[in-house]
């Protein structure tokens, strides 16, 4: 923890030194960024934009996780499904996020649905591929046990399947969350009238206000790291408690 704080202080100090040296509004000092964050918060724009973006991240994250897990299990359990869907999945995995986003806006229109769809399509293949790995590694001995003791579907899913997939699901969630929010910003920049991505683009085009760009980025990064530490890491510790 102490090392972490020290490394952060060094980073801020280096930033301050560089800003003093440059004396340019294109490289604002830490305090200038902090001032912008304060002003933007007072106007209410900060809370609104961060809230809107967070909501988009949450919805697309939830949808992508749910669909990705279902798809991953199907791919891992069924040879036919895997053969059929492997190629489309590979195509989707290797299509640039920007292309998926632009196509979603072109084909669905400049709507909230298109924005969410674009993020989901970007993230879903990653979740499916990670969960597929888990579904391939299920313990056949436990399946035999479930059969001999006539466990019904509900017991099998809750007691046998999900606990074996949990480590994979948590990995997918953690890598997926950071992926999702970065893509949400691109999606907002390209076709939404609000959100952090929109705000960053606005300050860039209007006035090249670097303090604003860094300010928004810092605030949102802090929120996402907070979610990871407070929520996902605790969830991970919880699912590993029996080890």
For other proteins, the binding residue among 1, 5, 80, 148 (CB under 8 A) is 148
Applying CB under 8 A, which part among 140-148, 190-198, 215-223, 225-233 lies near other proteins? 140-148
For other proteins (CB under 8 A), the number of binding residues is 17
The number of C-alpha atoms within 13 Å of 125 and in the hemisphere containing its C-beta is 17
Q: Is 107 in the site for other proteins (CB under 8 A)?
A: no
Residue 215 CA: distances (Å) to CA of 85, 158, 185, 209: 42, 44, 14, 10
The Cα 223–Cα 91 span in angstroms is 32
The Cα 222–Cα 196 span in angstroms is 13
For other proteins, the binding residue among 19, 74, 103, 160 (CB under 8 A) is 160
DSSP string, 23-47: --TTS--HHHHHHHHHHHHHHTHHH
For other proteins, the binding residue among 25, 136, 147, 234 (CB under 8 A) is 147
The Cα 4–Cα 12 span in angstroms is 12
Q: Is 193 in the site for other proteins (CB under 8 A)?
A: no
183 close to 97: Cβ distance less than 8 angstroms: yes
In Å, how far from its chain's centre is CA 90?
20
For other proteins, the binding residue among 97, 108, 142, 232 (CB under 8 A) is 142
Q: Is 144 in the site for other proteins (CB under 8 A)?
A: yes
Q: Is 86 in the site for other proteins (CB under 8 A)?
A: no
194 φ/ψ angles, rounded to the nearest 5 degrees? -155, 180
Map the footprint of other proteins across residues 5-64, applying CB under 8 A: none
The Cα 189–Cα 119 span in angstroms is 13
For other proteins, the binding residue among 2, 5, 80, 152 (CB under 8 A) is 152
Applying CB under 8 A, which part among 8-16, 82-90, 146-154, 211-219 lies near other proteins? 146-154
Applying CB under 8 A, which part among 51-59, 101-109, 160-168, 224-232 lies near other proteins? 160-168
x/- letters, 162..181, toward other proteins (CB under 8 A): -x--x---------------
27 close to 18: Cβ distance less than 8 angstroms: yes
Compare residues 86 and 155 and give the one whose CB is closer to other proteins.
Answer: 155
The Cα 53–Cα 186 span in angstroms is 11
Residue 167 CA: distances (Å) to CA of 13, 61, 89, 114, 173: 39, 17, 22, 31, 10
Q: Is 141 in the site for other proteins (CB under 8 A)?
A: yes
| Least distance (Å) between residue 83 CB and other proteins | 15
| Least distance (Å) between residue 77 CB and other proteins | 18
Binding site for other proteins (CB under 8 A): 141-142, 144-145, 147-152, 155, 159-160, 163, 166, 242-243
């Amino acid at each position: 923890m102490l090392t972490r704080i020290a490394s952060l202080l060094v980073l801020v100090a280096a930033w301050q030194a560089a800003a003093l040296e440059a004396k340019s509004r294109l490289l604002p000092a830490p305090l200038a960024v902090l001032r912008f964050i304060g002003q933007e918060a007072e106007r209410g724009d900060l809370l609104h934009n961060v809230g809107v973006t967070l909501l988009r991240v949450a919805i697309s994250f939830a949808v992508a996780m749910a669909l990705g897990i279902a798809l991953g299990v199907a791919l891992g359990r069924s040879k036919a499904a895997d053969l059929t869907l492997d190629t489309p999945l590979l195509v989707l995995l290797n299509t640039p996020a920007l292309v998926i986003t632009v196509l979603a806006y072109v084909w669905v229109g400049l709507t909230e649905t298109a924005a969410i769809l674009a993020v989901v399509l970007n993230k879903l293949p990653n979740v499916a591929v990670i969960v597929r790995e888990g579904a391939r590694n299920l313990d056949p001995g436990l399946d035999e046990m479930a059969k001999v003791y006539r466990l019904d579907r509900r017991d099998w899913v809750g007691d046998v399947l999900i606990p074996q997939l949990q480590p994979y699901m948590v990995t997918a969630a953690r890598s997926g969350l950071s992926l999702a929010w970065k893509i949400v910003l691109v999606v907002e920049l390209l076709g939404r009238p609000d959100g952090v991505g929109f705000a960053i683009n606005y300050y860039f085009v209007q006035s090249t206000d670097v303090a604003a760009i860094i300010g928004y980025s810092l605030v949102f990064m802090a929120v996402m790291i907070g979610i990871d530490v407070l929520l996902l890491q605790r969830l991970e510790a919880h699912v590993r408690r029996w080890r």
